[in-house]
Structure 1
Amino acid sequence: MSAGGYHVHGPHDHELEHAAHGDSHAGGSHSGGKSMTSQIAVFTAIIATVGAIFAYMAGLTQANAGLLKNDAGMKKTEASNQWAYFQAKSTKQALAEFALDMSPEERKAGWQTKIARYEQEKNDIATAAKKLEHESTEFDEESEAQMHMHHRWAQATTALQVSIALAAIALLTRKKWLEWGMFGVAGIGVLIGVLAAMHI
């Protein structure tokens, strides 16, 4: 990437340039060194690609978790509104029951009808409120599941980034144990990515 005449690149790009030029710092005469350089360069390119996919999945699951949490909040608000409506009906029912007790006999039937209507309306409102609360809980659980997957993808991405860093150090130091460490950490990253894909 160029900015103002300067070429900006990361350590992975730098090491790939070395690989393309036959690793002139190693003299280019050692076939083992060139083989190691080429092997690590190809491996790093593959891991960087897989890491980019994992990073995308981490961002996607985080966004999904946020949307689901927002849906849960909306359902909770709707449920609260329904319970407030339920409370208002309960107050009206209580007043109707008081009026029933205080009214002359010829008006009691009318108040009794209103009380029965308020009771039915309260039952309908309570059913709707409980349904909204259940939906809110489901959205919350789905959000938590998405966040769990997000953490898995993020862990996998981090492991692959560490593996790429180890690859750059292995190219510079020519340490075989660093190369094995690079493969090991990458393997862990891929395994975590598989667990994320399996929703584990």
Structure 2
Amino acid sequence: MSESGFHVHGPHDHELEHAAHGNDDFASRIAVMTAIMATVGALFGFQGGATQNDAAMFKNDAAIRKTEASDQWNYYQAKSNKQNLAELAMTLPGVDAGKYKADLERYKSEKEVIKKKAESLEAESAEFEHKSEAALHQHHRWAQATTALQIAISLAAITLLTRKKWLQIGSYGVAGLGVVLAALAWLHI
């Protein structure tokens, strides 16, 4: 625009204005599909993050149970040591064997309770490990789906620049692959 208020359009300005206000169906379809793919990709990314967090929490729970089981096995070993000392004490001459026999029986019964608790904690740990592995597998599927949609969006941008129909079809195909991967994630496959 000049100082006098008179405005002269150059050829480039005219093309930009035409593109901004024109009715380019091809570009409009690509733009809408890109927006849809970006929205769906964001949802897939959210699901991927959620399953990754689940996997980490399950792994943490497994580690906690494994530590608790280890503590129980250490307690079991301490009771075994006391049981062994009571057995040894019973064989010494001049010792009240009855007292040590009662201790021996008490240690045996306490060990059984401790052993069951340790085995239960180990089973819980294994279950949490399994849940973690399943959630991590699901996370990988969501990540693959998100990546496929990101590639589809990139192909859509190239399609918009080159106006190649085969790229448009390729973009939609890769987006479809992303939806299939998301379905596999949803179904835990």
TM range (shorter): 0.7 to 0.9
Rg larger for: 2
Q: TM-score, normalised by structure 2?
A: 0.87
Q: Work out the CA distance in 1 between the residues paired with 2:107 and 2:79.
A: 6
Q: Work out the CA distance in 2 between the residues paired with 1:182 and 1:103.
A: 90
Map Cα deviations across residues 121-154 of structure 1 (whole Å, 9 max, x no partner): 1111010000000000111110111100110000
Per-residue deviation, 1:22 = 6.4
> What is the match of residue 91 of structure 2?
101
Map Cα deviations across residues 9-28 of structure 1 (whole Å, 9 max, x no partner): xxxxxxxxxxxx7635xx94
> What is the match of residue 23 of structure 1?
19
Equivalent residue letter for 1:131: S
Q: Work out the CA distance in 1 between the residues paired with 2:118 and 2:159.
A: 61
Q: CA RMSD in A?
A: 1.6
Counterpart of 1:23 in 2: which secondary structure?
helix
Cα gap change, 1:112 to 1:22, in 2 (>3 Å): farther
**Structure 2: segments with no counterpart, 5+ residues:** 1-16
Instruction: From 108, 126, 134, give the equivalent of 2:123.
Output: 134
Q: TM-score, normalised by structure 1?
A: 0.83
Cα gap change, 1:68 to 1:22, in 2 (>3 Å): farther
Q: Work out the CA distance in 1 between the residues paired with 2:188 and 2:18.
A: 43
> What is the match of residue 115 of structure 1?
104
Aligned length: 173
Identity across the alignment (%): 53
**Structure 1: segments with no counterpart, 5+ residues:** 1-20
Counterpart of 2:188 in 1: which secondary structure?
coil
Q: Work out the CA distance in 2 between the residues paired with 1:192 and 1:38.
A: 27
